[in-house]
Structure 1
Amino acid sequence: MAEDDSENRPKKKARHGDGTVFWDKAKGCYVGQISLGYKPDGTRLRPKAEGRTKKEVHDKLKRIREDHEAGLELGDKYTVEQACRDFLKRGLPKQGASTVSGVKTHLEVHIIPGLGKAKLKRLSADDVDDFLAGLTSKCSTSYIGRILGTLRRVIRFAQRRNKVARNVAELVEAPKGKAGRPSKALTLEQGKAIIRESHGTWLHAYIAVSMFTGVRTEEARPLKWAHTHLNPIVGEECSCGAVHREDLPPHIEVWRSVRVHGDTKNETSRRTVALPAYVVDILTAYRKRQIEERKRNGHKGEGIVYVFGTRHDTVKEAKNVRRYFKAVTEAAEIEGNWVPRELRHTFVSWMSDQGASDELIADLVGHKKTSTTRTVYRHQLRPVITKGSELLDKAFGDGFEEAD
């Protein structure tokens, strides 16, 4: 390759700190070197750069010096894919398995194929905008937002390790994507149909609790009998094994979820909700049947911890609950694809139909945006909320008969 014309011009004296640039015949390009002090072991720190012209090499040496002064890792070889791999390996130490799985999907399916080869230091806001625009025809708006959130987390992780100076993903907003799958709610007749169809199974009680209290699926699966009070009588031993000191209606304490450390989604999700009378009857019969079945199958019958646990008294997996629920809705001849979380939407819909206010519904289902007077500290017991069971007793109790 021919040398550029700069060799024929009068040579200018290099300024101190600019480094030196020379033609390397063996490599067929210009090579530059700059001195940046000493390494921790006492040897000289002299990074190199290569390019087709002197200007290109000088520009690279300048960026190396600026990165060094900013405390960043030297070089320009660290890619977005490497940042993603490092984040997966070290950036999620406290996250649950489901969260890690979701993040891994964002990275492996979308971010790495779309941006992985880009040098992280050279990634621009325009690059991120173009990447997100490519998702609008196949992903919903909310999902694109989650992908962007994961990218921001990856770059923040890289920032903390001095791999990059700024987070360009913070400079863009998620575009509008495809319309997401709308949430659905069962009608009163459909609700009665799945209650009847699931009779005699553990899902019968699961549906009753979920549909008439509005608990999240992640809160229902780890529900414990110790937090399920079917006969709280003052001075007498309750179904939970404790002796209540005050007069309370039957209720459940929604205190835990399957999230990391067992916390609910937020502090206002920690609530105590009264049970409608027919749900109490269903749970009472189910508890008796559960104990008998455990004993009959040679498993521990007394001291069962989880209301909807497996035969080995562990929390059921979400995919198994979805599978059983789908089978019940199909057997009840309810059209469409239904998932357990829509039992919560059903509860909200029915409560609204019965004239419940938005504030009451938010309180019952543990939404974060509720009155500050209803917000409590983490370890406090919220007052038992009875309005939900009273309204649904009125709506669902009329004309409903439990199958034998």
Structure 2
Amino acid sequence: MYFDRTNNCWVGSVSLGTDQQARRIRRSVRDRDYRKASAKLDELLEEVEAGRDVGNRYTVADAAQDWLEHLASSTLAKGTVEELRCIARKWIVPGLGRTRLKKLTTEDVEVWLQTMTAVLATTSIRKRLGTLRRVIKLAQAHGHVRDNVADLADAPRGTEGRPSKAFTLDQDQAVLRASMGHPIHAYLALTLLTGVRPEEARPLTWRHTHLNPVRGVLCSCGTVHDKDLPAHVEVWHSVRGGGDTKTPKSRRTVALPRYVIATLTKHRTEQRQIRAEHGWKSEDIEYVFGTRYDTPEKAQVIRDQFRAVVVRAGLANEWAPRETRQSFTSILSDLGAPIETIADLLGHASTTTTRTVYRRQLRPVITTGAETLDQVFGTDFLNPE
């Protein structure tokens, strides 16, 4: 530690050896206050001893780029990886990229988050903060920074997100009619009338789709059933990482309504004809809603086709494919189905999840009990003749 009279400050330096040209590599700290300069020097020595990068040119953009390269080898689903890439390139790099990672403060992160409050919902802001935390965490693991300042920041409240909604029975029927003759009709019939999630429907295979009652067939659960099973789909896969469903309870076997059976039967015949006409694989087709290459259809293609059908049905273009599941819940509830049955069909571990997530779609007043008892204890019971 020495006093630099020219700049009127205390300077402390650490030698890091020599470079390829045998020139001494030094890192220095400085401050006009001796105690502060000494504290900075102690921190620098601590970083050297811990094997951390003591350079000061590594930026948030550098950290994001390293994280994106690391992300390419992760086990996350492809769609999740693309979403995280988009967040890093559209939000983190433009907003914080030029900041040197060691100089980044919690206040910098909070100011960055505040710029999102006018355009993003709270959940979206949280997702971007979570992504930044993952970027810095990798930089920590590689010795570029000591602390993850993003861990100390809280996501502010953003705009009000659009709550999920459900089709009425008339709208449900209108959407199905509008989709007739279009590739998405069979997909909508299945999701609207069984509650299967979009990420479960897209990778559904014909091997797991049984359009006739079956006996003695090996099920996805590994059991050969000795009783006749009605036509059903075995919902055991999704497009999530590893191909697993959202939760273990989500693995379920769902019986098919007659309309879905007829629609899927017709869809399979037309699928084979269309693929044969175009010279595509037409035998041993794997995916029910597959592409020309017999791979699961992309989510964006489903969204585009779904919104086009919604417009043809005379509805506003503000619906999402995931709301077919809300519609299924709402219609079953209106028809008096017990919440336990709805929870099983949705693949929920308990009715608590069903009540919490689909509270807007569940029948607000349960009238089944009153309607049943009215048949026995009507008004005549109080006023006998």
Alignment TM-score, normalising by the size of structure 2: 0.79
- The one of 5, 11, 14 equivalent to 1:34 is 14
Deviation at 1:357? Answer: 4.2
2:310–2:319: 8 Å Cα contact kept in structure 1? yes
Task: Give 1:195's aligned residue.
Answer: 176
2:13–2:29: 8 Å Cα contact kept in structure 1? no
Deviation at 1:224? Answer: 0.3
Letter matched to residue 332 of structure 1? A
Output the CA distance in 2 between the equivalents of 1:80 and 1:237.
Answer: 53
2:96–2:112: 8 Å Cα contact kept in structure 1? yes
Output the CA distance in 2 between the equivalents of 1:369 and 1:160.
Answer: 39
Letter matched to residue 327 of structure 2? T
- The one of 97, 103, 106 equivalent to 1:116 is 97
Output the CA distance in 1 between the equivalents of 2:81 and 2:217.
Answer: 45
Task: Give 2:226's aligned residue.
Answer: 245
- The one of 173, 182, 199 equivalent to 2:154 is 173
Deviation at 1:181? Answer: 2.0
Correspondence list, 1:279-294, <5 A = 279-294=260-275
Letter matched to residue 94 of structure 2? P
Output the CA distance in 1 between the equivalents of 2:125 and 2:90.
Answer: 12
Letter matched to residue 41 of structure 2? L
Residues 136-160 of structure 1, C-alpha deviation per residue, up to 9 Å, x if partnerless?
Answer: 1111011001001101111111111
Residues 263-292 of structure 1, C-alpha deviation per residue, up to 9 Å, x if partnerless?
Answer: 222322222111112211211222222223
Task: Give 1:296's aligned residue.
Answer: 277
Structure 1 residues 122 and 357: CA distance shift in structure 2, 3 A? farther
- The one of 258, 282, 300 equivalent to 1:277 is 258
- The one of 213, 220, 223 equivalent to 2:201 is 220
Is 1:131 matched up with 2:139? Answer: no
Task: Give 1:47's aligned residue.
Answer: 26
Output the CA distance in 2 between the equivalents of 1:340 and 1:33.
Answer: 61
2:2–2:10: 8 Å Cα contact kept in structure 1? no
Output the CA distance in 2 between the equivalents of 1:161 and 1:236.
Answer: 52
Task: Give 2:362's aligned residue.
Answer: none
- The one of 127, 145, 156 equivalent to 1:164 is 145
Shifted more, 107-116 versus 215-224: the winner is 107-116
Letter matched to residue 75 of structure 1? G
Shifted more, 317-326 versus 134-143: the winner is 317-326
Structure 1 residues 188 and 29: CA distance shift in structure 2, 3 A? same
SS of the residue corresponding to residue 284 of structure 1 reads helix
Deviation at 1:257? Answer: 1.5
Task: Give 1:353's aligned residue.
Answer: 334
Task: Give 2:65's aligned residue.
Answer: 85
SS of the residue corresponding to residue 254 of structure 2 reads strand
Task: Give 2:43's aligned residue.
Answer: 63
Output the CA distance in 1 between the equivalents of 2:137 and 2:268.
Answer: 49
2:232–2:253: 8 Å Cα contact kept in structure 1? yes
Letter matched to residue 26 of structure 2? P
Residues 212-257 of structure 1, C-alpha deviation per residue, up to 9 Å, x if partnerless?
Answer: 111121111111000001113325899xxx9853221111111112
Is 1:366 matched up with 2:366? Answer: no
- The one of 127, 132, 137 equivalent to 1:151 is 132
Letter matched to residue 97 of structure 2? G
Identity of aligned residues (%): 46
Output the CA distance in 1 between the equivalents of 2:280 and 2:71.
Answer: 40
Residues 158-200 of structure 1, C-alpha deviation per residue, up to 9 Å, x if partnerless?
Answer: 1111222222222222111001122221111111112122223
Output the CA distance in 1 between the equivalents of 2:293 and 2:50.
Answer: 56
Residues 307-335 of structure 1, C-alpha deviation per residue, up to 9 Å, x if partnerless?
Answer: 11123322222222222222212112123
Output the CA distance in 1 between the equivalents of 2:52 and 2:210.
Answer: 58
Deviation at 1:341? Answer: 1.6
Output the CA distance in 2 between the equivalents of 1:75 and 1:369.
Answer: 53
1:106–1:147: 8 Å Cα contact kept in structure 2? yes
SS of the residue corresponding to residue 49 of structure 1 reads strand
Output the CA distance in 1 between the equivalents of 2:231 and 2:24.
Answer: 72
Is 1:72 matched up with 2:57? Answer: no
1:31–1:48: 8 Å Cα contact kept in structure 2? no
Letter matched to residue 56 of structure 2? D
Letter matched to residue 317 of structure 1? K
Is 1:141 matched up with 2:122? Answer: yes
Output the CA distance in 2 between the equivalents of 1:257 and 1:96.
Answer: 10
Task: Give 1:393's aligned residue.
Answer: none
Task: Give 1:382's aligned residue.
Answer: none
Structure 1 residues 329 and 266: CA distance shift in structure 2, 3 A? same
Deviation at 1:369? Answer: 5.3
1:77–1:119: 8 Å Cα contact kept in structure 2? yes
Count of aligned positions: 347
Output the CA distance in 2 between the equivalents of 1:225 and 1:360.
Answer: 26
